[in-house]
Amino acid sequence: MFKPTLKALACALALGAASLAHAADPIVIKFSHVVAEHTPKGQGALLFKKLAEERLAGKVKVEVYPNSSLFGDGKEMEALLLGDVQMIAPSLAKFEQYTKQVQLFDLPFLFNDIQAVDRFQLSPEGQGLLKSMESKNITGLGYWHNGMKQLSANKPLREPKDARGLKFRVQASAVLEEQFKAVRANPRKMSFAEVYQGLQTGVVNGAENPWSNIYSQKMHEVQKYITESNHGVLDYMLITNTKFWNGLPPDVRSELEKITQEVTVEVNKQAEALNQGDKQRIIEAKTSEIIELTPEQRNEWRDAMKPVWKKFEGEIGADLIKAAEAANQAQ
Ligand code: LMR
């Protein structure tokens, strides 16, 4: 008679202790990304970890997985939706399965510079896009800059005709495919982790990247020429799983929101300097010749690539394109 009761008591005590221990377990946020640590996104992820673990000590633990070490860019979105990671920051070129509007950012020669990109991202239209995928369980927490893209190849690219017939690696984006088709080149979708080898073995002949991605992946070692084309932008949306985020204790969520805002400001302040530093390091490495375009040459590229806008205007929305163009005028 006594025995089972004691057993039951011990059991209840053990269960109680387990649930107490559970209550004290920190919430683990896995942040997975595909670039190196010394890049705007890599630094942003580390700063997020630092601030979250300082200000929510014991409540939140952040694990950062750089360089596609946990999930490559073909898999990270799926992993976020399945709850295998809680935060990622894919490039804006990687959202077309979830929203056609974000394709806006891939339109060639839409933004004159990163300041214009910044103005658009902070506009009501830009901020609206952060919330446009909540029905798909994706919440945007902010935009992080990397920077403007440069074209690279093993032959000098000065005019659009120089790109004819070359195979260019592109991110998983229909707009970027069309951009290269517009200059009669052959686009090839490839995940970021495969680009260096693809260039080295000649599976592709060229690519488009901001300086920080070129340098941190050593692409300059396998590309003889880099054209400073600034023809498009490669930025990120910091995203989380909507259900996960809304299920956080309110005090934790509001602190994390504050932290993501602070980190966003910091990443966007540092990104341009980081890219310019990497451009300098590439020059010093003397592996690649950097080609500057004359205004006329740049106009030729723009004229050749701009017809792509019309093809996607229906999916993106003419008003959104107008709002983005308006951001080229400083207020
Ligand atoms: C790429 O695939 O080129 C980029 O999206 C990688 C990155 O995250 O910067």
Contacts of 198 by beta carbon, 8 Å cutoff, 6+ apart: 169, 188, 190, 204
Q: Has residue 5 been placed in a domain? A: no
On whether residue 12 sits in a domain, the answer given is no
Range of the domain at 41: 27-327
- 288 is a domain residue: yes
d(CA 176, CA 145): 18
Question: Within a domain: residue 3?
Answer: no
20 within domain boundaries? no
- Residue 297 within any structural domain of the chain: yes
249 domain-assigned: yes
Residue 95 CB neighbour total at 10 angstroms: 25
Do the domain assignments include residue 153?
yes
Is there a contact between 117 and 111 (Cβ–Cβ < 8 Å)?
Answer: yes
Residue 163: name the closest of 207, 214, 216 by CA: 207
pLDDT (tens place) for every residue of the chain, 331 residues total:
344 454 554 444 444 444 444 556 999 999 999 999 999 999 999 999 999 999 999 999 999 999 999 999 889 999 999 999 999 999 999 999 999 999 999 999 999 999 999 999 999 999 999 999 999 999 999 999 999 999 999 999 999 999 999 999 999 999 999 999 999 999 999 999 999 999 999 999 999 999 999 999 999 999 999 999 999 999 999 999 999 999 999 999 999 999 999 999 999 999 999 999 999 999 999 999 999 999 999 999 999 999 999 999 999 999 999 999 999 998 6
The CA 35 to ligand 1 mean position distance, Å, reads 7
Cβ–ligand 1 distance for 92 under 6 Å, the answer no
Number of domains in the chain: 1
Q: What residues contact 258, with CB distance under 8 A and at least 6 apart?
A: none
Q: 184: phi > 0 → left, psi -120 to 50 → alpha, else beta; which?
A: left
pTM: 0.92
Rounded to whole angstroms, the maximal C-alpha distance in the chain is 95
Nearest residue to 220 via CA among 301, 284, 148: 284
Q: Is 91 in the pocket of ligand 1 (CB under 6 A)?
A: yes
Tokens of 59: 């409540």
The CATH number given to whatever domain includes residue 210 is 3.40.190.170
Distance 285 CA to ligand 1 centre (A): 22
Q: Whose CA is nearest to atom 3 of ligand 1?
A: 192
Residues 127 and 136 sit within 8 Å (Cβ to Cβ) = no
